[in-house]
């Protein structure tokens, strides 16, 4: 008997002739995630990837933790592997499974016979294992309707696997299979969630953060880099680019009608994002905007902002309310960092009455009051680079 990790994937099985491409990306990601944890062997078949440690030095618990954050895997399971004989399976059940049944009073066994040459049917195998477990734990009873613990046995091509663990994985599709996108990463709750959601759909994520030093502090930037590190637990790594908006904001404050300040700033941010996306080969831009959440996120304001973009702008949070976004933020671990009380560039010089239904004609007239191309050239020339690696 060996203890292994079973990684099951979902959407990949629907990819038809492209399935091997997604499987190769999945295997490559899993290998990278566990490369520093010790010697292991990875194999896959029948929509399951199996990781087998090759020695006792392998960090099994850390591997489980990391693999649960690999996009494309719907479940990551601790299991015992044994020979495909009834005798070996029953013996393994009696030695391996009792610790998983401690503290419960009812259980149920479900069998899956993927290898149809196995001499027992799935119901027969389930019944035999249930009986074997009752022999060593007579205080238990079988409950087929509402068991406290569900025991699984899977007879597959190379071995039989038993487990009482069915931990969910991250879901989605493997990273790197859907292009590269640039996330506009602020220090708030929404943008890390947006980056996570796009990465879950297979995109590699770079991030662009705008700072306004000295109006925003070094701690505010450190907070953003911490958020990038949390999201990188799912993506593996993230390149974070930082651009200062200080001079642009000061000139906007000095020269334009106050109610257009935020709109013009957002357009400058989008133009700089387009330049950053072009430089770092990103095919799309991602923001955490939600329709109607603030003045700059009305349909008219978003239209004005998107007018300067030359590639898709994805907004995965667009139809979510704040509570829904917070739920995801808590799930992925970014919420507590997002609510740390450090300044964000978008809170600098915030107008009292921002324009919510702008016209393009008036926006262009306001922009003509200052040399934004020169200011944006200056900002882009001073871009900072940070490489965040989770593993």
**Burial readout 327-346 (b: 16 or more C-beta within 10 A, e: otherwise):** ebbeebbbbebbeeeebbbb
Is the domain spanning 2-163 CATH 3.30.2130.30? The answer is yes
- Residue-wise pLDDT for 49-100, tens only, equals 999 999 989 999 999 999 999 999 999 999 999 999 999 999 999 999 999 9
Q: How many CB atoms lie within 10 A of CB 141?
A: 11
pLDDT at 172: 95
Residue 121 has pLDDT above 80, yes or no: yes
Average pLDDT over residues 217-226: 92
12 band by pLDDT with thresholds 50, 70 and 90:
confident
Residue 26 has pLDDT above 80, yes or no: yes
Which letter does DSSP use for residue 36 in this model? T
pLDDT at 341: 83
Instruction: Look at residue 327 and give its three-state secondary structure.
Output: helix
Residue 346 has pLDDT above 80, yes or no: no
Please, where in the chain does CATH 3.40.50.620 lie?
Answer: 180-389
Cα separation of 41 and 101, whole Å? 29
Q: How many CB atoms lie within 10 A of CB 132?
A: 18
pLDDT at 270: 97
Alpha helices in the chain (DSSP H): 19-34, 60-67, 86-96, 98-101, 122-136, 190-199, 218-235, 246-255, 261-279, 299-306, 322-332, 335-338, 360-367, 372-381
Phi, psi for residue 262 in degrees, rounded to 5:
-65, -40
pLDDT at 201: 96
pLDDT at 9: 87
CATH architecture of 180-389: 3-Layer(aba) Sandwich (3.40)
pLDDT at 49: 92
pLDDT at 178: 94
pLDDT at 266: 94
Residue bearing tokens 């994002």: 273
Mean pLDDT of the chain: 93
Where is pLDDT greater, at 113 or 313?
313
- Residue-wise pLDDT for 255-282, tens only, equals 999 899 999 999 999 999 999 999 999 9
Are 4 and 156 contacting, i.e. CB atoms less than 8 angstroms apart? Answer: no
- Name the residue among 67, 145, 26, 387 with its Cα closest to residue 242: 387
Tokens, residue 151: 């025991």
Please, where in the chain does CATH 3.30.2130.30 lie?
Answer: 2-163
Instruction: Look at residue 271 and give its three-state secondary structure.
Output: helix
Tokens, residue 277: 């996306």
353 band by pLDDT with thresholds 50, 70 and 90:
confident
pLDDT at 252: 93
217 band by pLDDT with thresholds 50, 70 and 90:
confident
What is the layout of strands, in order, in the sheet containing 237-244? 313-314, 284-286, 180-184, 204-211, 237-244, 384-389
Pairing assessment for the beta strands 106-113 and 149-155 based on DSSP bridges = parallel
Average pLDDT over residues 27-51: 91
Average pLDDT over residues 19-25: 90
Average pLDDT over residues 287-307: 90
Hey, which residues does 79 pair with through a beta bridge?
4
Q: How many CB atoms lie within 10 A of CB 71?
A: 26
């Amino acid at each position: 008997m060996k203890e292994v990790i079973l990684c099951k994937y979902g959407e990949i099985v629907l990819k038809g002739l492209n399935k091997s491409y997604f499987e190769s990306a999945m295997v490559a990601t899993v290998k990278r995630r566990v490369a520093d944890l010790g010697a292991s062997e990875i194999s896959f078949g029948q929509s399951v990837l199996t990781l087998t440690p090759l020695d006792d030095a392998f960090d099994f618990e850390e591997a489980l933790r990391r693999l649960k954050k690999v996009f494309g895997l719907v479940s990551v399971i601790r299991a015992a592997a044994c020979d495909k004989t009834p005798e070996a399976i029953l013996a393994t059940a009696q030695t391996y499974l009792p610790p998983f049944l401690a503290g419960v009073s009812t259980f149920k066994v479900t069998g899956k016979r993927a290898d149809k040459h196995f001499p027992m049917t799935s119901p027969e195998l389930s019944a035999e294992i249930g009986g074997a477990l009752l022999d060593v734990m007579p205080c238990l009873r079988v409950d087929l309707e509402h068991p406290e613990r569900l025991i699984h046995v899977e007879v597959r091509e190379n071995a039989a696997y038993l487990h009482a663990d069915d931990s969910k994985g991250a879901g989605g599709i493997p990273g790197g299979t859907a292009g590269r996108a640039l996330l506009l990463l602020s220090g708030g709750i929404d943008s890390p969630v947006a980056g996570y959601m796009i990465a879950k759909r297979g995109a590699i994520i770079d991030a662009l953060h705008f700072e306004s030093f000295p109006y925003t502090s070094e701690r505010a930037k450190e907070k953003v880099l911490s958020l990038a590190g949390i999201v990188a637990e799912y993506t593996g790594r993230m390149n974070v680019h930082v651009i200062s908006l200080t001079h642009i904001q000061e000139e906007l404050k000095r020269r334009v009608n106050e109610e257009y300040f935020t709109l013009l700033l957002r357009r400058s941010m989008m133009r700089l994002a387009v330049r950053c996306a072009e430089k770092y080969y990103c095919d799309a831009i991602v923001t955490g905007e939600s329709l109607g959440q603030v003045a700059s996120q009305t349909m008219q304001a978003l239209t004005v902002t998107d007018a300067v973009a030359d590639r898709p702008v994805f907004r995965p949070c667009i139809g979510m309310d704040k509570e829904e976004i917070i739920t995801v933020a808590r799930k992925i671990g970014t919420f507590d960092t997002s609510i740390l009380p450090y300044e964000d560039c978008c809170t600098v010089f915030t107008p009292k009455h921002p324009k919510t239904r702008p016209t393009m004609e008036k926006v262009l007239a306001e922009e003509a009051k200052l040399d934004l191309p020169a200011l944006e050239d200056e900002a882009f020339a001073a871009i900072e680079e940070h490489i965040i690696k989770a593993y």
